Structure 1
Amino acid sequence: MDCLKIEQGTSLVRVFHAAPQAPAVDVYVNDSLVFSNLEYMNFTDYLPLQAGEYKIDVYPAGTNETPVISQMVDVPEGEMITVAATGNLDDLSLLIIIDHVKQIPSNDFSTFRIVHLSPNAPAIDVLVDGQELINDIQFREGSSYANVYPGNYRIRVVLNSNKTTVLPLKVTLNGNRIYTIYIVGDSPDLAAIQSVDGNTYLCR
Structure 2
Amino acid sequence: MNRFLALPLVVAGGLMLAGCDDDSDSALGTVTEAEVRIIHASPDAPPVNILVDGEAAVEGADYKEVALLTPPVGDYDLAVQGIIPGVTGDAAIVIGPANFTFEDGIRYNVVAVDTVAGIRPLTFNDTDPDFSSTTDVRVRIGHLAPNAPAVDVYVTAAGDGDDLSMTDPLLANVSFEDVADAVEVPAGDYRVQITANGATQAVFDSGSVSLPAGADLFIGAVQNTGANASATGASPVSLIVVNGADVSEIYDADQNAGVRVVHNSADAPEVDVLVDDTEALANIAFTEAAPSAALDEYASLPADTYNIKVAASADNSIVPIEADLTLANGQGYTVAAVGLLGDNTIEALVLEDSVRSIGTQASLRVVHGATAAGNVDVYLLPGDQTAIGNASPTLEDVPFKAVTGYLPVPQGTYNLRITDTDGNIAISADGVALDNGGVYTVIARDGQPTLTDFGLILLDDFVQP
Q: TM-score range by the shorter chain?
A: 0.7 to 0.9
Are 1:100 and 2:327 counterparts? no
- Which residue is 1:29 aligned to? 275
Question: Against the structure 1 CA distance between its residues 48 and 7, is the aligned structure 2 distance closer, same or farther, given a 3 Å change threshold?
Answer: farther
Q: Percent identity?
A: 26
Letter in 2 for 1:48: S
Letter in 2 for 1:40: F
| 3-state SS of paired residue (1:141) | coil
Q: How does 1:1-204 map to 2 (within 5 A)?
A: 3-4=230-231, 5=234, 7-8=252-253, 10-45=256-291, 46-89=298-341, 90-101=344-355, 103-106=356-359, 108-129=360-381, 130-159=391-420, 161-170=421-430, 171-186=432-447, 187-196=451-460
Distance 2:454 2:286 in 1: 13
| 3-state SS of paired residue (1:15) | strand
Letter in 2 for 1:135: E
Distance 1:177 1:168 in 2: 21
Letter in 2 for 1:41: T
Q: TM (normalized to structure 2)?
A: 0.40
Distance 1:184 1:178 in 2: 20
Letter in 1 for 2:403: G
Question: Against the structure 1 CA distance between its residues 7 and 136, is the aligned structure 2 distance closer, same or farther, given a 3 Å change threshold?
Answer: farther
Distance 2:436 2:276 in 1: 39
Listed one character per residue, the Cα deviations across residues 33-92 of structure 1 (whole Å, up to 9, x for unaligned) are 111101110111211112222111111113222212122122223211111111101211
Letter in 2 for 1:114: V
Distance 1:49 1:139 in 2: 29
Distance 2:371 2:396 in 1: 18
What RMSD in Å do the two structures reach over aligned CA positions?
2.2
Distance 1:149 1:66 in 2: 45
Unaligned runs of 5+ in 2: 1-228, 235-250, 292-297, 382-390
Letter in 2 for 1:50: P
Structure index of larger Rg? 2
Aligned residue pairs total 196
- Which residue is 2:182 aligned to? none
Matched-pair contact (CA < 8 Å) for 2:373–2:426: no
Measured after TM superposition, the shift of residue 174 of structure 1 is: 2.0
Letter in 2 for 1:81: Y
Letter in 2 for 1:169: A
Listed one character per residue, the Cα deviations across residues 110-147 of structure 1 (whole Å, up to 9, x for unaligned) are 22021011122211121111442122321111112222
